Structure 1
């Protein structure tokens, strides 16, 4: 009954927004082996969000998989609007054999839809970031990649500017960007202000600025000093303010263009952009010299420099699948043998024994650490989001970031400290109310 009510709820929402959802024809394939008996055989359907490579790269994966499992036929179905298109099918049982766990499904309801893959305690020895969708000590999905946050940069521009260092304090980073402006024709840092969502990428660097994987989910919800001088949020967005205030960004941020900016960074017309690791592949694909595209940690004064890691979509097995052994074999292959996490998602493999991707291999032995964020303490799950929503700050929206840029370039009379003071006052009031 719980599952039916959940799906009816989501279907009612989807009916309201259906005019905005992209359609997609189905290429469904049924199972032909009856109840699963542990044999790796039969026909499975893998549902993916990668419409761009489903007919090319994924077909190559299937051919490689069938070298090991010749008795399994693999079919693919790609959804352009993954969340919107998969949810109406969840109540029917007809949602493939292998798919990505929709983020729309409440964590406690995951066992209603997906097959357990193993115990968290045991699987944590092999995989990282598997606890985000775990329930009752059981793992129901493995991340298709583990993303990291930082700054994409053009190595040729840095070389022309005489910059060789890749670990910066905020002051050192500003000096590096000033060198780019003085010695090259490139825009030192491109904000992508007009796109809006690109400014939210800065929030992912909070743990780097803090130098502590506990900060985001453990310290932050339990402090009234979230935006005060010396604290991570203040120092993070002070970088945004300073680069804009010193004229180290595009001349007219109100007219930026996201697609154009990727080509400009690829061509060396832009030196840096604050983006997640997912952007690396998109930018490398636009240049004949992909080796020129590098990645670095966000600048920090912390003693420990870290790349904060977060799970991408989790790959899982339909609890109704009639070929669960074959479906689980595909999950294992996709995560451990296909190369997808690093070659297509441009993140880290969730497998702990996997090699670092090329973009990060240069940091081996430098002391930079790669760590997943510490989950919230029991009873405080979702507390940061609840405080943020009550305060109407928008940690993961563009509003106050645009306010910072506008102030920095002189379009408003606000100072940076005035903006931070307002945000902190809102945080304190909301935290007091939410914690009651």
Structure 2
């Protein structure tokens, strides 16, 4: 099970916001107390009969007589998107990736203002529109490299690399001294390569990096985050530090490989730490490090919210739905159980992320774009047909590095900059 990816799927939007938005939303008295039954939709099919059942037990102890039913959905994005063309999509659910900000009011109940909820929660602007919040993160992720500490130590590497050159040198030591695959691309699965995009903003420690892409003609110019990120990925492939045939790699198998020490590292969100620990001979073998570059003498790691939990605008039991949402986010312990960043801003980090805290890694959360530029970076990306969050973009870079194509990295950067400049001129014009 993997966490939510930020997909730019503007071409795959819901059929129409008006379809599910027809008819008045059900209202309940302001002083109503939780009662009755609610249905909660979730992508975590693996937890429906285990952890979620325990959460529900604790919730019903607080609210006797209430019943919480879970519906686990394997192909969550596609199935829920279709169901949202009717009012029947549960009482509480995770907001599908394809819902645009302007569609949020048509499908979901407002939870409060960004100003008020922002005092308590992280990631509050990620599912908000016109100053109102429609979804709260179930947890947050830091972006970095999951790695097998035992393998790195066997190679003589005990400190985190502070530059891309040091990281390459460390991976070479892993190959020479342990025989492990230094870095596993998970090329065949595709989506793991999109994790590299989440490093943007951390190298420069720039909280406006993503929105700032709408104001540059050359995101891949030397010295930019994208140039450094993609240069490192290309070099890892070019130096032969990846799996022998990445086109046959396997995500589920990769967990076992890094857990057993046959693979040394992978770029993933912090959500993956627990899954890798579960596959390891010892959970202590699995570590997590930030991108190998420092800014002002400190490491930085981008953070972002995972799936956002929300209330169906057409729910007939919004009071109980809201009580469940608040309990799940504030008190269930789901974020800690997932080894992830709690959505409550002052909550402690889980044990898995203590090393980042101990080494004073600075978290970088992207600011929302100005109101008149909401979605502009995504629109430029879509028009350019680059696909910053799609696997083909970085599969191309891996292929160039491993010699599966005749493209040079410089030619790729020139092409990407040209496409971005043309799309930006058509949409931004400034």
TM-score for the superposition, normalised by structure 2: 0.89
Structure 2 CA distance for partners of 1:326 and 1:398, relative to 1, 3 Å: closer
The unaligned stretches of length 5 or more in structure 1 are 11-30
1:60 aligns with 54
Shift of 1:390: 2.2
2:88 aligns with 94
Q: What's the CA shift string for 1:205-259, capped at 9, x where partnerless?
A: 1122222221122x22111221122221111111111112222222232332222
TM-score for the superposition, normalised by structure 1: 0.87
Q: What are the within-5 Å matches in structure 2 for residues 23-422 of structure 1?
A: 37-90=31-84, 92-217=86-211, 219-303=212-296, 304-344=298-338, 346-422=339-415
1:24 aligns with none
Q: What's the CA shift string for 1:381-411, capped at 9, x where partnerless?
A: 2222222222222212223322322222233
Shift of 1:136: 2.9
1:6 aligns with 17
State the distance in 2 between where 1:192 and 1:425 align: 28
The unaligned stretches of length 5 or more in structure 2 are 1-13
SS in 2 for 1:188: coil
Shift of 1:279: 2.1
* Partners of 2:18 and 2:106 within 8 A in 1: no
Structure 2 CA distance for partners of 1:4 and 1:299, relative to 1, 3 Å: closer
State the distance in 2 between where 1:90 and 1:408 align: 43
* Partners of 2:258 and 2:280 within 8 A in 1: no
Structure 2 CA distance for partners of 1:422 and 1:348, relative to 1, 3 Å: same
* Partners of 2:102 and 2:129 within 8 A in 1: yes
SS in 2 for 1:186: coil
State the distance in 1 between where 2:407 and 2:108 align: 51
* Partners of 1:100 and 1:316 within 8 A in 2: yes
State the distance in 1 between where 2:423 and 2:55 align: 49
Q: Say which is worse superposed, 353-362 or 101-110, in terms of deviation.
A: 101-110
Shift of 1:140: 2.1
State the distance in 2 between where 1:4 and 1:174 align: 47
Structure 2 CA distance for partners of 1:406 and 1:138, relative to 1, 3 Å: closer
State the distance in 1 between where 2:423 and 2:278 align: 44
Structure 2 CA distance for partners of 1:367 and 1:323, relative to 1, 3 Å: same
Structure 2 CA distance for partners of 1:298 and 1:8, relative to 1, 3 Å: same
* Partners of 1:36 and 1:324 within 8 A in 2: no
* Partners of 2:181 and 2:243 within 8 A in 1: yes
Shift of 1:195: 2.5
Shift of 1:119: 2.1
Shift of 1:367: 2.7
State the distance in 2 between where 1:238 and 1:423 align: 13
State the distance in 2 between where 1:94 and 1:425 align: 45
Q: Say which is worse superposed, 351-360 or 317-326, in terms of deviation.
A: 317-326
Structure 2 CA distance for partners of 1:430 and 1:115, relative to 1, 3 Å: closer
SS in 2 for 1:159: helix
Q: Say which is worse superposed, 37-46 or 307-316, in terms of deviation.
A: 37-46
State the distance in 2 between where 1:383 and 1:57 align: 39
State the distance in 1 between where 2:87 and 2:248 align: 47
> How many residues of Structure 1 are paired with residues of Structure 2 in the alignment?
411
Which protein has the larger Cα radius of gyration, Structure 1 or Structure 2? 1
Structure 2 CA distance for partners of 1:435 and 1:343, relative to 1, 3 Å: same
Q: CA RMSD in A?
A: 2.4
Shift of 1:34: 8.1
SS in 2 for 1:364: helix
Moved over 4 A (4+): 7-10, 33-37
Structure 2 CA distance for partners of 1:259 and 1:144, relative to 1, 3 Å: same
SS in 1 for 2:295: coil
